[in-house]
C-alpha cells in the first residue's frame, strides 16, 4: 500500500481471489444485492440473504480495513431491517460492529450505507462512478467469512461496466438491464476484491502471462505510456520473484480529476486500486503495489495472522512489508530504465533526508515505528519529534541490508535472493514468518554468518544508521548540505467544513512563547483569511518575520503575535565516489542492475 505518507494493508494470505461469473447455485451461498439507485445521496442500498439460519444469526461490519486505523465502517450504516419470508423480524444491535437477528430460515437483512470518500482506502458512489471496497460496505456473517457468496449489483447505468479484482470485467446478468453478477469463493475473497463501476477505459497488457488487465477511470494520462511502464514493471518483478502468483491481475486506476485530490495505492490479492493526480506518478506507485503480490499478500508475518478485522493487530515487521517493498519499487524503476541512475540516487537521497530530519529517528526504531502504525491517524504522532515512517526507514534499511548481503558474499547474494528465499520458505509453504527474527535468519543463511549486530542495532534498535561506512562499500558517498528557513512553530489544521484550529504547538518555539495554545480557533491570519496552504506561506517568509493571529479560545477572542522561528535543515545527497575501487564499483553495478557475480574472480 502506498498512502500520502506512504503506509499497508492486508487480508488473508494466499487468497487467490476467484470471482467466478456463473449462475447462482441453489442454496449454499450467502447472497448480497447492492443497488446504485441513489448516487445523488451517495447511498448504497444493500441486502444480504443468509440461508439455513437456526435460531439466530450475527452480522458484523469490519472495524478496519485498508489502513491501519480503526474506522468503524458501521458508522456509515443506516436504516437496518430484517425479514424472513417477507415478514419483518426484530434485529438488535449488540455492539458497535454487530447486529443479531433471532429467527429461523432464510434471513434477509437490508440497510443503506453512505460513502462519498475518494481514494483506494475508502468507497464512493456519485454520478461519475461507484468504487467499492466490499469490506467497508458489506456486512459479513460472524463465523462464516469462508462461506461461498455472490454479489448482484443493480441499477447500474447502461453505459457503465463493472470491473472486479479477479477478472477484469464482470458479466451482465441475463435479461435484467442494469444488473451485474459476481460470484466469489468466500466473503474473505470478495472483501479483498475492489470493484469499479463506471464508464472506464480497459485493456490487457500485451506479452504478459498470466494476463494483466488495466482499468482506468479518469483523464491526464496516455495509454501508450501506461502500457509501456506497466509491461516493464510487471515483467521485471515477475522474473525477479520466479513467476507470478496469480491467475489474472487487475490494475484499477483513478487518474486526474476522478482522483479528486486523493492519492495512494492499496494492494489486494490479485489486484490493486490506485489514485493519482496524473499519469506521471503511475510507475512509482504501480511498482510498489505490484510487488505487494509477494511481500505482504503472500509473504506474511505471523503477527498479522489470522486477520481479525474487529480490533487492532500489532506487528513489528511493517518496515519490511512496506519499507522494503519501497526498496524494490525503486529497484524496479531503475533496472527497467524507467528511472535513470541519477533519479534513483536522488530518491534515495530524499529518503535519507526525510528520515534524518525527524528528531524521532534518534529514538524510534524501525520495529517500534511498525508497532505504532495504529497511531498514525493522530496529528501529534505524525510530527517529526514523535515518529518516523516505517516506509522511509524500511526503504533505507532495505538498501543498506542489500549492501551488507553483497559485501559479505563477494556480490554473490543480494536482497533479491532474500525475498526469493522468503517466498520459497514461507509463502509457497503456506507458512508465516516471525517478524524480524525470520528475516534475519533467512539473511544469515545467505551470508553464512551472523547479522545480529545489524538487526539489533538498526532494526530493533535506533542506533545511527551507518550510511557512510556501508555506502562506501558500494562506491557511493553521502554529502551534507544545509539551508535555513522560517518555521511556524505550530501546526494549523482544518477538518472539512470546519474552521482552522491549532493542532500542535512545538515546545520552546516562538509560537509557544507567544501564548498560542492547542485548540485555538484561528479567525484571522495577518488581518486576512488563513492561507489555503499555511506551510507554503511559511516557506515564502524569513526567520523573524511577524505573524499576527486573531484566535478564539473558549468564549474569548485574543490577538497573538509570533516572530517566525528559524529552522536549519540538513539535506543529504547520495553520489558516486570518483575514487571508488574496482570492488566497490562492481558492487554498485550489482545494486543498480540487479546482478550478482563474484567480484574477486572478475578482478583477476
What is the per-residue pLDDT for 27? Answer: 45
Q: How far apart are CA 568 and CA 51, in angstroms?
A: 65
Average of pLDDT values for 488-493? 95
Is residue 79 pLDDT above 80, yes or no? yes
Provide the residue range defining the domain that includes 348.
298-474+577-604
Domain harbouring 582, CATH code: 1.10.390.10
Residue entry with cell 459479513: 140
What average pLDDT score do residues 38-53 get?
Answer: 98
Residue 371 has pLDDT above 60, yes or no: yes
Residues 329 and 437 in one domain: yes
Note whether 57 and 176 are same-domain residues.
yes
Choose from 151-155, 168-172, 567-571 the range with maximum mean pLDDT: 151-155
Mean per-residue pLDDT for 56-79?
98
Q: How many CA atoms lie within 13 A of 39 on its CB side?
A: 16
Q: Is 207 exposed, middle or buried (0-12, 13-18, 19+ CB in 10 A)?
A: exposed
Average pLDDT, the chain: 92
Share of the chain above pLDDT 90, in %: 87
507 touches 359 (CB < 8 A): no
Are residues 102 and 134 part of one domain? yes
Verify that 336 and 431 share a domain, yes or no.
yes
Q: How far is CA 523 from the centre of its chain?
A: 35
The cell for 539 is 516557506
Stretch 387-398: mean pLDDT? 99
Query: How many CB atoms lie under 10 A from the CB of residue 578?
Result: 7
User: Does residue 16 have a pLDDT over 50?
Assistant: no
At 258, is the pLDDT very low, low, confident or very high (cuts 50, 70, 90)? confident
Note the pLDDT of residue 503: 94
Residues 59 and 124 reside in one and the same domain: yes
**Residue in the structure block whose three cell numbers are 514461507:** 426
Helix axes 325-335, 582-593, angle to 10 degrees: 100
Residue 184 lies in a domain: yes
- Indicate whether 539 and 595 sit together in one domain: no
More confident residue, 134 or 220: 134
> Confidence class of residue 602 from pLDDT cuts 50, 70 and 90?
low
- Is 260 within a domain? no
In a domain, 73, yes or no: yes
Residue 436 · residue 455 · CB < 8 Å: yes
Euclidean distance between CA atoms 231 and 213, whole angstroms: 11
- The reply to whether 304 and 422 lie within a common domain is yes
* Domain count for the chain: 3
- Mean pLDDT throughout 142-157? 94
Phi, psi of 103 (to 5 degrees): -170, 170
| CA 541 – CA 411 distance, rounded (Å) | 49
DSSP conformation letters of 369-421: HHHGGGGTTSTTTTSTTT---HHHHHHHHHHHHHHHHHHHTTTS--HHHHHHH
| pLDDT, average across residues 50-70 | 97
- Residue 581 and residue 553 in one domain: no
Q: What is the DSSP letter of 307?
A: -
Q: Is residue 306 part of a domain?
A: yes
Q: Which of the two residues, 604 and 112, has the higher pLDDT score?
A: 112
In angstroms, the Cα distances linking 368 to 374, 458, 466, 529 are: 11, 11, 19, 40
**351: which residues sit within 8 A by CB, 6+ positions away?**
326, 392, 395, 396
In 3-state terms the chain splits into helix, strand, coil percentages (rounded to 5) of 30, 30, 40
d(CA 132, CA 44): 10
Max mean pLDDT among 23-27, 167-171, 452-456, 595-599 falls in 452-456
In this structure, the answer to whether residues 165 and 74 fall within a common structural domain is yes
pLDDT (0 to 100) of residue 1: 84
Residue 261 counted as domain residue: no
The residues pairing with 99 across neighbouring beta strands, listed in sequence order, are: 59, 93
Least Cα distance to 590 among 350, 415, 393 occurs for: 415
pLDDT 10s digits, 521-565: 999 999 999 999 999 999 999 999 999 999 999 999 999 999 999
| 295, 11 Cβ separation under 8 angstroms | no
pLDDT of the residue at 261: 76
Q: Which of 247, 249, 217, 245 is nearest to 230 (CA)?
A: 249
For residues 373 and 509, state if they share a domain.
no
In a domain, 217, yes or no: no
Pull the grid cell for residue 568. 536549519
Lowest mean pLDDT among 439-453, 455-469, 486-500: 486-500
Amino acid at each position: 500500500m502506498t498512502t500520502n505518507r506512504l503506509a499497508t494493508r492486508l487480508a488473508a494470505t494466499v487468497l487467490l481471489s476467484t470471482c467466478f461469473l456463473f449462475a447462482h447455485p441453489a442454496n449454499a451461498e450467502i447472497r448480497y444485492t447492492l443497488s446504485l439507485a441513489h448516487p445523488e445521496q451517495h447511498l448504497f442500498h444493500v441486502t444480504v440473504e443468509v440461508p439455513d439460519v437456526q435460531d439466530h444469526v450475527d452480522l458484523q461490519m469490519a472495524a478496519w480495513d485498508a489502513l491501519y486505523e480503526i474506522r468503524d465502517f458501521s458508522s456509515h450504516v443506516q436504516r437496518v431491517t430484517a425479514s424472513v419470508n417477507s415478514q419483518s423480524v426484530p434485529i438488535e444491535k449488540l455492539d458497535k460492529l454487530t447486529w443479531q437477528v433471532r429467527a429461523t430460515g432464510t434471513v434477509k437483512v437490508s440497510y443503506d450505507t453512505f460513502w462519498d470518500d475518494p481514494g483506494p482506502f475508502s468507497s464512493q458512489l456519485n454520478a461519475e462512478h461507484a468504487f467499492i471496497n466490499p469490506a467497508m460496505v458489506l456486512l459479513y456473517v460472524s463465523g462464516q467469512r469462508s462461506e461461498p457468496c455472490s454479489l448482484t449489483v443493480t441499477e447500474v447505468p447502461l453505459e457503465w461496466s463493472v470491473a472486479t479484482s479477479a477478472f477484469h470485467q464482470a458479466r451482465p446478468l441475463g435479461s435484467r438491464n442494469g444488473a451485474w453478477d459476481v460470484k466469489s469463493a468466500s466473503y474473505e475473497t470478495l472483501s479483498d476484491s475492489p470493484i469499479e463501476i463506471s464508464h472506464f477505459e480497459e485493456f490487457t497488457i500485451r506479452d504478459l502471462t498470466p494476463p494483466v488487465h488495466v482499468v482506468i477511470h479518469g483523464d491526464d494520462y496516455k495509454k501508450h505510456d501506461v502500457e509501456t511502464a506497466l509491461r516493464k514493471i510487471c515483467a521485471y518483478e515477475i522474473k525477479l520473484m520466479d513467476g507470478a502468483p496469480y491467475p489474472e491481475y487487475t490494475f484499477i486506476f483513478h487518474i486526474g480529476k476522478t482522483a479528486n485530490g486523493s492519492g495512494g495505492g492499496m494492494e489486494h490479492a490479485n489486484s490493486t486500486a490506485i489514485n493519482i493526480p496524473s499519469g506521471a506518478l503511475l510507475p512509482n506507485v504501480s511498482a510498489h503495489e505490484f510487488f505487494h503480490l509477494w511481500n505482504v499478500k503472500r509473504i506474511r508475518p505471523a503477527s498479522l495472522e489470522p486477520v481479525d478485522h474487529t480490533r487492532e493487530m500489532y506487528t513489528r515487521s511493517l518496515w519490511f512489508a512496506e519499507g522494503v517493498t519501497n526498496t524494490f519499487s525503486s529497484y524496479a524503476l531503475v533496472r527497467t530504465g524507467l528511472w535513470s541512475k541519477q533519479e534513483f540516487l536522488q530518491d534515495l537521497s530524499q529518503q535519507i533526508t526525510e528520515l534524518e530530519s525527524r528528531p524521532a529517528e534518534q529514538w524510534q526504531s524501525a520495529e517500534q515505528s511498525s508497532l505504532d502504525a495504529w497511531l498514525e491517524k493522530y496529528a501529534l504522532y505524525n510530527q517529526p519529534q514523535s515518529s518516523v515512517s516505517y516506509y522511509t526507514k524500511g526503504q533505507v534499511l532495505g538498501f543498506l541490508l542489500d549492501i551488507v548481503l553483497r559485501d559479505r558474499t563477494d556480490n554473490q547474494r543480494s536482497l533479491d535472493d532474500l525475498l526469493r528465499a522468503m517466498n520459497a520458505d514461507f509463502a509457497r509453504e503456506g507458512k508465516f514468518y516471525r517478524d524480524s527474527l525470520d528475516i534475519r535468519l533467512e539473511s544469515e543463511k545467505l551470508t553464512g554468518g551472523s547479522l545480529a549486530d545489524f538487526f539489533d542495532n538498526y532494526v530493533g534498535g535506533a542506533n545511527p544508521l551507518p550510511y557512510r561506512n556501508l555506502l562506501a562499500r558500494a562506491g557511493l558517498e553521502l554529502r551534507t548540505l544545509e539551508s535555513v528557513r522560517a518555521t511556524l512553530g505550530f501546526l494549523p489544521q482544518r477538518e472539512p467544513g470546519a474552521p482552522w484550529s491549532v493542532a500542535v504547538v512545538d515546545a520552546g518555539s516562538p509560537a509557544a512563547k507567544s501564548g498560542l495554545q492547542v485548540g485555538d480557533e484561528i479567525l484571522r491570519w495577518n488581518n486576512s483569511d488563513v492561507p489555503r496552504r499555511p506551510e507554503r506561506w511559511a516557506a515564502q517568509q524569513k526567520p523573524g518575520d511577524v505573524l499576527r493571529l486573531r484566535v478564539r479560545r473558549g468564549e474569548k477572542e485574543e490577538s497573538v503575535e509570533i516572530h517566525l522561528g528559524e529552522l536549519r535543515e540538513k539535506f543529504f545527497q547520495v553520489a558516486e565516489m570518483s575514487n571508488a575501487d574496482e570492488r566497490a564499483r562492481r558492487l554498485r553495478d550489482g545494486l543498480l542492475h540487479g546482478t550478482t557475480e563474484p567480484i574477486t574472480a572478475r578482478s583477476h
